[in-house]
Amino acid sequence: MIIASWSASPFEAMPDPVTDNDILVCQQAVKALKTQLTTCEDEIRASQQSVDAKIGGFKSYFADIESQQAKLDPQIADLNTKLTAKYKQEAELHADLRNEVGQNGIAFLQFRAHRQSPAELLVDRWFECDKDRLAAEVYLNGCNTKQKSVTMWNDQRVRTYKNKADVYVMRASRLSDPVMENFKEDARLDATISRMEKQVPMLHAEQKELRCPLSCQMPYCQNGQSDNGGEDVVTTIYDTSGCTSYCSRPFTNEGVRFCGSGSVYTDGAYVDCTRCAKTR
């Protein structure tokens, strides 16, 4: 029996606004898809075990089918080569994302949480669940496709030669399925890589801002007085002039701070700029 996949579109529109109930519905859909996947895989194993007991021969029958498959091999090989390269690029971008997020650990998560409203947090939760739903749906659809192929293959294995013509037509009509699946996977990888290529620079910029606040940069923080521990601004990780020690509390109506170290510069609402130094 072929199990129908969840009826939602692979590119389901995000609810607006997102509510806790939307997240619950999404999570229930993920659970249902995984349950269907387990059932699908169990049925595939059961059907294979049943047919294995009936195998007696007919291997030469498949020579014609394999010759048809061979005609598609160059196209499949080309697609597989492209997919391998994109899988590698996708993995490298995932590593970059993990590296950017992991550099500041909990502090970075608190920084992001401080900047997000409850509605934005719900949107983030919905996107996370939607990603899980899409992954579960891909696995289930793959299993359903495999189950169809296994069912067809099992039928062919037990047919006699007198049914060869009918089996050939049925098998030949599905030869392009692997190519079509690879085309879909190629499109998915393109979309994923494009999205992550934008996310990595954004996370990198946020990491910089977390390490070195903009209030450490000129003109917000200026040269301090040398007679009280003041220091001159230097080149920072932004490749602009700024303070790499401490910026004092604001001393003017415009909020201007001064760079230095010591009690004058670490009193009140000062800013720690010690992580702004540019490393070689």
Q: Please choose, from the candidates 258, 269, 271, the residue with its C-alpha nearest in 3D space to the C-alpha of residue 231.
A: 258
Q: Please choose, from the candidates 128, 143, 125, 124, the residue with its C-alpha nearest in 3D space to the C-alpha of residue 33.
A: 143
pLDDT at 106: 44
Q: What are the pLDDT digits (tens) for 167-211?
A: 666 766 676 677 778 888 888 888 888 888 888 888 877 778 888
**10 has a pLDDT exceeding 70:** no
pLDDT at 9: 46
What's the average model confidence in pLDDT over 13-18?
78
CB 17 within 8 A of CB 120: no
> At 65, is the pLDDT very low, low, confident or very high (cuts 50, 70, 90)?
low
CB 280 within 8 A of CB 252: no
Q: How far apart are CA 245 and CA 266, in angstroms?
A: 10
Neighbouring residues of 150: CB distance < 8 A, sequence distance ≥ 6 = 44, 47, 48
pTM, full prediction: 0.39
pLDDT at 28: 92
Long-range contacts (CB closer than 8 Å, 24 or more residues apart) made by 21-29: 22/122, 22/126, 23/122, 23/125, 23/126, 23/129, 26/126, 26/129, 26/130, 26/132, 26/133, 27/129, 29/133, 29/136
Q: How far apart are CA 100 and CA 116, in angstroms?
A: 19
Q: How far apart are CA 260 and CA 258, in angstroms?
A: 7
Q: Please choose, from the candidates 82, 271, 253, 94, the residue with its C-alpha nearest in 3D space to the C-alpha of residue 183.
A: 82
**pLDDT above 70 covers what percent of the chain?**
76
CA 164 to chain centre: 45
Residue 1 CA: distances (Å) to CA of 39, 106, 148: 10, 48, 9
pLDDT at 243: 95
pLDDT at 166: 64
CB 227 within 8 A of CB 262: no
Q: What are the pLDDT digits (tens) for 46-60?
A: 888 887 776 655 555
Average predicted confidence (pLDDT) for the chain: 79
pLDDT at 216: 94
The burial of 73, by beta-carbon neighbours within 10 Å (0-12 exposed, 13-18 middle, 19 or more buried), is given as exposed
> At 229, is the pLDDT very low, low, confident or very high (cuts 50, 70, 90)?
very high
Residue 143 CA: distances (Å) to CA of 33, 126, 176: 11, 25, 17
CB 206 within 8 A of CB 103: no
Q: What are the pLDDT digits (tens) for 98-126?
A: 676 555 444 444 545 455 577 778 878 87
pLDDT at 3: 39
**232 has a pLDDT exceeding 90:** yes
pLDDT at 72: 67
